[in-house]
């Protein structure tokens, strides 16, 4: 059987537990009826039996007990709902962060041949909360899809870290604290602050009137193979489940090529199952050193191999996501290379460690600095570069606009140059012949690119119902400007910044002129409740 990687995302489980005592009683009853056993009361007399008593001994609490009590209150259940989508050619994808296209990253190794088949992830999406084989797309079957995951509070104001795959297909997100009543209520509504698909991390927030318990973030770099660790989460909807194990390995990459460039995991044998996703992996100081993300399995359940995103990566991503742009900014120099070159190539080009450049983006940062194809990058700011992953991590961690000193070898001669780091997203777009977003953009996708909202011309029937003209919101991208302001699918936007948007063309023209820092005010009507009149929604772009 092939081994599969699973992003731990589980559907809410029905109550299917069967008491063995009930089954045993049924067997005994059947035996009694079949054999007619009678008259054994005397043989079964138990008058000489001594009743059992509970011994009141005490066991000193160990570190696992201490950590569970200290950290447990800050670990939360995350419930999500995906609403039924419209059928036909205009399916809504409400609050979905659009998947990045399968493109080659600027600093990637250029080798996509090692990717696992696309059906692997689809299989697990079906098994853990997605569609059934041969069935309709998730959310298109007329039923609300529910999923469950975990998370932990890192800010007393209600900021929570979890996995992107826990919430990325959700129309509604709810969070339940360990102190919340155990009822049918799904929990407190949460909103997305930002997501980073490259590391499968997300930040969400719940409103609170009182400070919430929080966790401490530990240093994953100091964790060692063999260290004890503890995991807390909600596997199979069983909240506040605690498991323990050790760190089995570090710096594991489970996706080859571009998908795994920023995913270097801590491997652990602490039991992790569907529903644990987004929960904390803790060291013996009770500090979070990882976010439980994936398992390696033959049975779709725990088999002793789990993966957690290291806390040092998590902290860096979190700090970017709570910033003004709500996205992670990474550096790039605009090159491509290959990993795992044969020894013959190394010998022919005369290097042991380093990166052999295969492609340099014309006009990109590396090109402007004089780097050419077949150059061998050996150092960054004097530090030796081991391989492509090492180079990507070094470059990506730099801020766009900063400079580095790049050492390289050309035709056997050592050379060096200064390179100005570029914005990875913009370099990526340029490498795929796509123009980055500009303040002058006024094309048909301006609303989606700048605001995160897709609109369509208003159907005449709805226009007549609300006695107004405008455009109707088809979808809103999770974490986008429109999402953060409360714009929702179905709303009719009649004006933006007091300018009429009676048609999609008018809307695109108005939005295309917006730029970062502008105030954006929507005038909107809910066609389901036109009697409520015009709602004013706005913020600063």
Lowest mean pLDDT among 174-183, 246-255, 268-277, 500-509: 174-183
Copy the structure tokens of residue 292: 């439980």
Residue of 165, 220, 264, 389 with catalytic role: 165
Q: Which candidate in 200, 389, 425, 508 is catalytic?
A: 200
Indicate whether 104 pLDDT > 60.
Answer: no
Query: Which has more pLDDT, 219 or 259?
Result: 219
List domains and CATH numbers for the chain.
1-13+61-86+93-327 (2.40.10.120), 331-430 (2.30.42.10), 446-540 (2.30.42.10)
Check residue 22 and give its pLDDT: 36
The H or E element that residue 28 is part of is helix 20-35
Mean pLDDT of 92-103: 30
201-216: average pLDDT: 96
Residue located via tokens 């079906």: 126
Please give the pLDDT value at position 141: 52
Check residue 105 and give its pLDDT. Answer: 34
Mean per-residue pLDDT over the chain, rounded: 78
Higher pLDDT, 243 or 28: 243
Q: What is residue 445's predicted lDDT score, i.e. its pLDDT?
A: 66
> Closest by alpha carbon to 150, among 213, 97, 202, 207?
202
pLDDT at position 97 is 26
Of 288-297, 435-444, 472-481, the one with minimum mean pLDDT is 435-444
For residue 135, the model assigns a pLDDT of 38
Out of 6-10, 424-428, 485-489, pick the least confident.
6-10
pLDDT at 197 > cutoff 70: yes
Q: Is the pLDDT of residue 257 over 80?
A: no
Residue 36 pLDDT grade (very low, low, confident, very high; cuts 50, 70, 90): low
pLDDT (0 to 100) of residue 381: 95
Per-range mean pLDDT, top range of 72-76, 122-126, 132-136, 428-432: 72-76
For residues 9, 290, 307 and 162, what is the CA-based torsion angle, rounded to 10 degrees?
A: 10
Catalytic residue among 10, 147, 248, 277: 277
| Whether the predicted pLDDT of 452 surpasses 60 | yes
**pLDDT of 448 higher than 90:** no
Average pLDDT over residues 199-227: 96
Dihedral over alpha carbons 270, 275, 279, 283 (to 10 degrees):
-10
pLDDT (mean) for 111-126: 38
Judge whether residue 137 has pLDDT over 70.
no
- pTM, to two decimals: 0.63
Catalytic, 277? Answer yes
Q: Is 469 a catalytic residue?
A: no
* Cα gap 318→183, rounded to integer Å: 31
**Residue 346, pLDDT score:** 74
Please work out, in degrees rounded to the nearest 5, the angle formed at the alpha carbon of residue 425 by the alpha carbons of 420 and 430: 80
Kindly state the tokens that stand for 266: 């801590």
Where is average pLDDT lowest: 82-91, 159-168, 321-330, 363-372?
82-91
Which pLDDT belongs to residue 134? Answer: 35
Give the model's pLDDT for residue 530: 84
Higher-scoring residue by pLDDT: 438, 341: 341
pLDDT in tens, 289-337: 999 998 887 776 778 899 999 999 999 999 999 998 898 989 999 998 8
Q: Does pLDDT of 383 surpass 70?
A: yes
Does residue 13 surpass a pLDDT of 60?
no
H helices within 105-206, ranges in order? 119-127, 164-167
Query: 113 with 256: CB under 8 angstroms?
Result: no
Most confident of 157-161, 274-278, 353-357: 157-161
Given a cut of 60, whether residue 4 has pLDDT beyond it is no
Task: Collect all residues with Cβ–Cβ distance below 8 Å to 437 and sequence separation of at least 6.
Answer: 449, 450
Instruction: Give the separation between CA 503 and CA 493, rounded to whole angstroms.
Output: 10
pLDDT value at 74 more than 90: yes
Q: Is position 90 annotated as part of the catalytic site?
A: no
């Amino acid at each position: 059987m092939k081994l599969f990687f699973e992003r731990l995302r589980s559907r809410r489980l029905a109550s299917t537990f069967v008491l063995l005592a009930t089954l045993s009683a049924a067997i005994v009853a059947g035996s009694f009826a079949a054999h007619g056993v009678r008259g054994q009361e005397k043989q079964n007399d138990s008058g000489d039996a001594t009743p059992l008593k509970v011994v009141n001994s005490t066991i000193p609490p160990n570190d696992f007990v201490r950590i569970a009590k200290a950290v447990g209150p800050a670990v939360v259940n995350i419930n999500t709902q995906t609403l039924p989508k419209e059928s036909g050619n205009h399916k809504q994808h409400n609050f979905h962060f659009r998947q990045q296209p399968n493109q080659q990253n600027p600093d990637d190794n250029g080798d996509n041949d090692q990717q696992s088949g696309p059906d692997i992830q689809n299989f697990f999406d079906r098994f853990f909360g997605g569609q059934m084989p041969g069935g309709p797309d998730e959310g298109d079957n007329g039923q609300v899809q529910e999923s469950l995951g975990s998370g932990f509070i890192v800010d007393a104001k209600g900021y929570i870290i979890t996995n992107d795959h826990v919430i990325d297909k959700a129309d509604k997100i709810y969070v339940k604290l360990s102190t919340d009543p155990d009822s049918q209520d799904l929990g407190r509504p949460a909103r997305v602050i930002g997501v980073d698909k490259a590391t499968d991390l997300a930040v969400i927030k719940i409103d609170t009137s009182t400070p919430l318990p929080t966790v401490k973030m530990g240093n994953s770099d100091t964790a060692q193979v063999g260290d004890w660790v503890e995991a807390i989460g909600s596997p199979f909807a069983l909240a506040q489940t605690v498991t323990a194990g050790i760190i089995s390995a570090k710096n594991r990459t489970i996706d080859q090529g571009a998908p795994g460039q920023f995913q270097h995991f801590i491997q652990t044998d602490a039991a992790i199952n569907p529903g644990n996703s987004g929960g904390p992996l803790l060291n013996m100081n009770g500090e979070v050193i990882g976010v439980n993300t994936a398992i390696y399995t033959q049975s779709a359940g725990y088999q002793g191999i789990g993966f957690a995103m290291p806390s040092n990566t998590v902290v860096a991503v979190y700090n970017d996501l709570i910033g003004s742009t709500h996205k992670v900014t990474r550096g790039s120099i605009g090159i491509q290379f290959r990993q795992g070159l044969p020894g013959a190539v190394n010998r022919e080009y005369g290097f042991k460690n380093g990166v052999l450049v295969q492609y340099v983006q014309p006009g990109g940062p590396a090109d402007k600095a004089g780097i050419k194809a077949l150059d061998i990058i050996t150092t960054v700011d004097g530090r030796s570069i081991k391989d492509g992953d090492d180079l990507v991590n070094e470059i990506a961690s730099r801020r766009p606009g900063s400079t580095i000193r790049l050492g390289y070898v050309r035709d056997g001669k050592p050379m060096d140059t200064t390179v100005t780091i570029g914005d990875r997203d913009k370099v990526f777009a340029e490498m795929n012949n796509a123009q980055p977003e500009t303040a002058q953009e006024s094309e048909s996708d301006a609303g989606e690119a700048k605001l995160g909202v897709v609109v369509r011309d208003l159907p005449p029937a709805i226009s007549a119902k609300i006695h107004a003209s405008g455009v109707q919101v088809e979808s809103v991208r999770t974490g986008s400007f429109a999402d953060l302001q409360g714009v929702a699918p179905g709303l009719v936007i009649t004006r933006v910044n007091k300018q009429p948007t009676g048609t999609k063309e008018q809307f695109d023209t108005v939005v295309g002129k917006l730029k970062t820092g502008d105030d954006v005010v929507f005038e909107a009507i809910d066609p389901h409740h036109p009697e409520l009149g015009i709602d004013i929604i706005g913020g600063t772009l």
